[in-house]
Amino acid sequence: MDDSSSQKVKKVLAPMVRVGTLPMRLLALEYGADLVYSEEIIDRNFLDCYIHNNEKYSIKEWISNKTQLCFFSTCNQERDHLIVQLGTSNGNCAWKAAEKIIPFCRGIDVNMGCPLLYSTKGGMGSALLKTPEIASDIIKTLRRNLPNEYSVTAKIRLFPVLQDTIDFVHMLANSGVDAVAIHARQVHERAKDKANWSQLAQIASHVVNVPLLGNGDIFSLQDMQRMKDQTGISQWMIARMAQWNVSVFQGTLDCINNVILRYAKLAEETNTYYGLAKYCIQQMIKYQKWTRTEFASKVSISK
């Protein structure tokens, strides 16, 4: 991704397990997202699969040789906006996996922030924050082998010590990364913990040689502007709010009923597994219940 194209990217759908599948990505694009990330896919899945051209749904499906189940799908509509996120701990495996997907996407992202055991136990996700030499080799290997028109990016979390985060981002930049998304929380922190935008601001002031994307506690266009004002970062990655109501990308929230109906239609049109579609719709419904409860409590207090 060259500098000119990266600066055009503003609003990005974050990688989310069980959420960032094809129908959600397409819906995010309909509502104004500039880029959409897939959920994290472990590199070895791409190493033992075949691609099925599903003409009935006009999609391509990556089918596991072992289980004969589809673990990833895409279509032409998202080709120029799709970033596939890999879970990997080895440069060569990452590159071999990228070979299977790169003709159908815009770039490859390396997950260096996931704190969950299924990722870290294999040296992936946030475990890479502790092994900078491996993280560097993964980025170098991908950048060396991928054509320049495809981006190589990484998503990380904050270190306990600010300077360590700055040093890690500089290392990624020197390894050839095209952009770094920073989740403004440490590995042990969860969504209930406030995102540390002040550290984002300090990182942005020290890192000028690679584009940064800010992630954490962005729930509206107003939050995006606030992050820009407070940190200087003008590229934003949205997770939870997009999961709850993906119309956040257009600025004004659409009626959740409309969002759910459109999502269900896209899920049907893209041969999405029922369980995944059900999960996503449940998250939207849960959020609607939360906002109603919150509203009711405010009305009660005002009385």
Beta strands 212-215; 179-186: pairing state: parallel
Model confidence pLDDT, tens digit, residues 222-232: 999 999 999 99
Starting from the edge strand earliest in sequence, which strands make up the sheet with 49-54, in order?
A: 49-54, 59-64, 70-74
Assign residue 48 the CATH number of its domain: 3.20.20.70
Residues 252 and 266: their CA atoms lie apart, in Å, by: 21
With residue 266 as reference, give the H or E element that holds it: helix 256-269
7 pLDDT band (50/70/90 cuts)? Answer: low
Which residue would you say has higher pLDDT here, 213 or 286?
213
Backbone angles phi, psi at 81, to 5 degrees: -125, -5
Per the prediction, the chain carries an average pLDDT of 94
Q: Which residue ranges make up the annotated binding site? A: 15-17, 85, 155, 183, 239-240
Q: What is the pLDDT of residues 139-175, one digit of tens each?
A: 999 999 999 999 999 999 999 999 999 999 999 999 9
0.95 surpassed by pTM: no
Tell me the C-alpha to C-alpha distance, in Å, between residue 236 and each of 86, 130, 224, 257.
20, 25, 7, 26
Q: How many domains does the chain have?
A: 1
pLDDT at residue 298 greater than cutoff 60: no
Residue 294: predicted pLDDT: 57
How much of the chain exceeds pLDDT 90, in percent? 90
Cα 244 from chain centre: 15
Angle at 271 between CA 267 and CA 277, to 5 degrees: 40
Query: Is 3's pLDDT higher than 70?
Result: no
CB-CB contact of 16 with 38 (8 Å)? no
Q: One of 70, 93, 105, 114 is an active-site residue; which one?
A: 114
pLDDT exceeds cutoff 70 at 65:
yes
Question: Does the annotation mark 93 as catalytic?
Answer: no
Res 9: pLDDT: 74
Give the pLDDT score at 287.
Answer: 84
More confident residue, 300 or 104: 104
- What is the reported pLDDT for 182? 99
Inform me whether the pLDDT recorded for 176 exceeds 60: yes
pLDDT of 153 reads 99
Domain encompassing residue 272: 3-302
